[in-house]
Structure formats: structure tokens, C-alpha cells
């Protein structure tokens, strides 16, 4: 059969290449279960141990404080050395911390166990995002599928945690190590082939000038988004009644994020990344206000809308950050992918304190101001020129 010149010269993708992003996405789901698990643990800690709003938000802080501090460090290390072995180790560490949190004998030990999980999450994201960039060959859509894996891990976490702990109480938490171990096993199957391509992939994406002012503004966009999303995820279950109603709220919140992640990659191809980002954050403002203002079960529709709009820019943060810092892809990945889901926990105790001083509804309502700030900051950015080899689709 005659073939066109394009068919002759086009690289052929073997079966292993086709499965790299799906396998990395599955591993991403295995580790990000633990970021979704911590908010799902909060109602059980409140019910069985009598924690107040401030104590409960302190547990969310434990999962994010150490993670936020060390994540850029792991990103810088990923820029200097190849550390694929760190990915499965970090996944097992994230699972171990959450598994121990339910059987820890005191608040301090519970806090430390959750902090250990946060450390594992911090170690995972920079190196995994760098390798995902190589596996995706610069495609926004493929990177959105990698990000989708983490979002699905979030979405599954409240159902998994609620069903398990409703049946066995906090004492059943050691079973929560299983997703991390399974995710690590899946990821290991593709690490060898990606590590072999690492030199060429890194060289292809390096080059050009690092735009630190633009990257700093992008980081502020992510910080404001994170405050809104983490605050909502920490308290929406309690606000809508806890128990089964709270689990449904978290599932809607995290499931909506899965939709937003996929939609974001598609919209970026049509509108551009920066325009997609600020439009999504503009739409997030009324969606978050509706969570508090809408009556009864209609609040769940606004939870979904808030989640979708806050997650549309999620994978775009990663590729924008990597393009703003083409010579420091690991650092960019550590800040954008890790910081996006961790730094908001640093402010969650303030949200809890405001809830105790006023009401939980008012505290959640205040969070609507943060996507508005993200929108304003995003308007100051422009899409960087595509790096060599990036397909943008």
C-alpha cells in the first residue's frame, strides 16, 4: 500500500507509548486520594473525638503546611537530578500517613500522621509532572488527562473514606494505604521507559528565558484559587449536614473537578490558556456565592458549578508555569501542580476561626472573593510562545 510522505516520516506510537499517560494518570489518582481523604476524615474526627472547627481545620493544615513548604524544594531537586524512584516511595508515604491518622492516640499524633501524608504528596508532584510533560509531548489535552487522574482520586476519596469509616470507624483507617500502594505499582510499570527518554525530553522543553514576573503572578492566581477551593472542600460537608449528605457534597465537589479538568484542556485549544483561565474564575464567583445562598438541595448544583469553574484552569496552570520557566520545569511543576492544592490549607484555620466567631455560612461566603482576585490577576498575563515540540492540543 502506498503511503504519503507524512505517513512515512511520522513517528509511530507503540502500545507502551499509548499507555504512558493513562498509567501515570492512574498513579496520580492513587496519590491524590489522600488529598481528598483528609476533608472526608474531618466529620469522623468531629463526631468520634469532638474536635471543634479550629481543631478540625488544623488537621487540614497538617496535610498542607509541610507540603507547601517543601514542595518547591522537591521541584528544585527534580530540576537538578532525575529521581523517578521518588514517585512510588512518595505514594506509599502519602498512603501510610492517612492510614495511621485514624488510629493515632492523640491530636498531636493524628496531626503528625496527616503531615507525613502531606510530605508524600509534596514529594510526588514535581517529579511526576515533569515526567508527564515528557510523556504528553507538550499536549495540553494529554496533560489535562494526567491532571484528571488526580482529580478523580479526589472525587473517589469521600465515597471510599465514608463507606470504610462508617462501617469500621476510625480504626479501619489502615485500609486506606491500599490506593497508594496500587498506584505505585501501576506507575512503576512506565517509569523505566520514561526515564530512558528523560534526557531528550528535558532538552526539548528547556531553552528560552525564564519569565519570573509572569510566573509570580501566575503563582498568586493559584494561591487565591487554592484558598477558595481548599476552604470549600474542608467545610462544605459540614455546612450541608455531614454524614451521607456531606459525602454527597464532597463527591459532587470533586467529581465536578474531573469535568472541569477535561473541559479546560479543550477550551484552551480554542480560546487560549490565559483567556480560558480568567473567564473560568469570573464564573466561579457567583457559583461559590450560590453554595451559601441557594436553598436546600439546589446548593448541590452550585457546588458542582463552583468545582467545574475552579478546575477548568487546573491543568493550564501546569503548562503555563512550565512555559514561563522553560529552564526549571521541575520547580514550575512543584509550585503550580502541588501548590495549587496545598497552600489553601494554610488559611483553613482562619476560615474555621471565622466560622466559630460568626457562622459557617458567612465564612464560606467570604471565600467567593478569592476567585475574583484570581480573575483580576489572570488578566495581567499573556500566553507565552509555545516551546519547541509542543503540539498544544
Q: Where are the domains of the chain?
A: 17-378
Please check the confidence at residue 220 and state whether its pLDDT lies above 60.
yes
Measuring CA to CA, how many Å separate 355 from each of 19, 55, 192, 383? Answer: 46, 12, 49, 39
- pLDDT (0 to 100) of residue 341: 58
d(CA 288, CA 78): 36
The predicted model gives 129-152 an average pLDDT of 78
Looking at per-residue pLDDT, the higher value among 8 and 28 belongs to: 28
Per-residue confidence (pLDDT) for residue 6, from 0 to 100? 38
Q: Which three cell numbers stand for residue 239?
A: 455546612
From the options 1.20.1640.10, 1.10.3720.10, 1.20.1250.20, 3.50.50.60, give the CATH code of 17-378.
Answer: 1.20.1250.20
Residue with cell 490577576: 377
pLDDT-based confidence at residue 93 (cuts at 50, 70, 90): very high
**pLDDT at residue number 45:** 84
pLDDT (tens digit per residue) in 187-209: 888 877 665 554 433 434 455 78
The Cα-based distances of 142 to 98, 168, 332 in angstroms read 30, 39, 18
Residue 84: what pLDDT? 81
Q: How many CB atoms lie within 10 A of CB 198?
A: 14
pLDDT of 131 reads 81
316: left (phi over 0), alpha (psi -120 to 50) or beta: alpha
The string of pLDDT tens digits covering residues 35-78 is 878 878 888 888 888 888 788 878 877 877 777 777 778 877 87
| pLDDT the model gives residue 391 | 44
What pLDDT, on the 0 to 100 scale, is given for residue 382? 93
Q: How many helices (H) and strands (E) does the chain have?
A: 17, 0
**What percent of the chain is modeled with pLDDT above 70?**
87
pTM score > 0.85 for this model?
no
Percent of the chain predicted with pLDDT > 90: 28
Q: Is 70 exceeded by the pLDDT of residue 388?
A: no
Which of 2-6, 58-62, 258-262, 337-341 is most confident? 258-262
Give the cell for residue 299.
446548593
| 326 against 216, higher pLDDT | 216
- Tell me how far the alpha carbon of residue 1 is from its chain's centroid: 47
Q: Tell me the CB-side half-sphere exposure of residue 134, using CA atoms within 13 A.
A: 26
Nearest to 31 by CA among 145, 118, 141, 133: 118
- How many angstroms separate the CA atoms of 258 and 269, rounded? 18
The span from the CA of 230 to the CA of 306, in Å, is 12
Q: What is the rounded average pLDDT for all residues in the chain?
A: 82
pLDDT reported for residue 196 = 53
Residues 368 and 361: their CA atoms lie apart, in Å, by 12
Task: Tell me the three cell numbers of residue 122.
Answer: 509534596
What integer pLDDT is reported at residue 4 of this predicted model?
41
The three grid cell numbers given for residue 134, joined into one nine-digit string: 515528557
Q: Who's near 40: CB < 8 A, 6+ residues apart?
A: 157, 158, 160, 161, 162, 237, 247, 250
Amino acid at each position: 500500500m502506498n503511503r504519503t510522505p507524512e505517513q512515512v516520516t511520522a513517528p509511530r506510537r507503540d502500545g507502551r507509548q499509548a499507555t504512558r499517560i493513562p498509567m501515570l494518570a492512574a498513579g496520580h489518582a492513587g496519590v491524590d486520594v489522600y488529598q481528598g481523604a483528609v476533608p472526608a476524615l474531618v466529620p469522623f474526627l468531629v463526631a468520634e473525638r469532638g474536635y471543634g472547627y479550629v481543631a478540625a481545620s488544623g488537621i487540614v493544615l497538617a496535610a498542607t503546611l509541610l507540603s507547601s513548604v517543601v514542595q518547591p524544594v522537591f521541584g528544585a531537586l527534580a530540576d537538578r537530578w532525575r529521581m523517578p524512584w521518588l514517585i512510588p516511595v512518595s505514594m506509599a508515604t502519602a498512603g501510610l500517613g492517612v492510614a495511621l491518622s485514624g488510629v493515632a492516640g492523640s491530636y498531636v499524633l493524628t496531626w503528625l500522621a496527616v503531615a507525613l501524608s502531606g510530605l508524600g504528596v509534596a514529594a510526588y508532584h514535581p517529579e511526576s509532572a515533569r515526567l508527564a510533560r515528557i510523556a504528553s509531548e507538550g499536549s495540553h489535552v494529554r496533560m489535562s488527562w494526567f491532571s484528571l487522574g488526580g482529580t478523580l482520586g479526589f472525587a473517589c476519596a469521600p465515597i471510599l473514606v465514608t463507606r470504610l469509616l462508617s462501617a469500621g470507624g476510625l480504626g479501619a483507617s489502615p485500609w486506606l494505604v491500599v490506593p497508594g500502594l496500587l498506584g505505585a505499582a501501576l506507575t512503576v510499570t512506565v517509569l523505566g521507559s520514561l526515564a530512558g527518554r528523560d534526557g531528550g525530553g528535558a532538552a526539548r522543553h528547556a531553552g528560552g528565558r525564564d519569565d519570573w514576573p509572569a510566573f509570580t503572578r501566575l503563582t498568586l492566581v493559584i494561591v487565591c484559587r487554592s484558598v477558595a477551593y481548599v476552604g470549600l472542600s474542608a467545610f462544605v460537608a459540614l455546612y450541608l449536614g455531614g454524614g451521607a449528605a456531606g459525602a454527597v457534597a464532597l463527591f459532587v465537589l470533586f467529581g465536578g473537578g474531573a469535568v472541569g479538568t477535561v473541559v479546560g484542556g479543550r477550551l484552551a485549544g480554542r480560546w487560549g490558556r490565559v483567556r480560558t483561565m480568567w473567564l473560568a474564575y469570573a464564573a466561579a464567583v457567583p457559583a461559590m456565592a450560590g453554595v451559601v445562598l441557594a436553598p436546600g438541595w439546589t446548593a448541590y448544583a452550585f457546588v458542582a458549578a463552583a468545582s467545574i469553574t475552579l478546575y477548568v484552569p487546573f491543568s493550564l496552570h501546569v503548562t503555563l508555569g512550565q512555559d514561563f520557566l522553560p529552564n526549571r520545569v521541575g520547580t514550575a511543576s512543584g509550585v503550580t501542580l502541588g501548590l495549587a492544592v496545598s497552600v489553601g490549607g494554610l488559611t483553613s484555620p482562619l476560615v474555621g476561626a471565622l466560622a466559630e466567631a460568626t457562622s459557617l455560612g458567612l465564612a464560606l461566603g467570604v471565600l467567593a472573593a478569592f476567585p475574583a482576585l484570581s480573575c483580576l490577576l489572570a488578566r495581567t498575563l499573556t500566553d507565552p510562545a509555545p516551546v519547541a515540540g509542543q503540539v498544544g492540543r
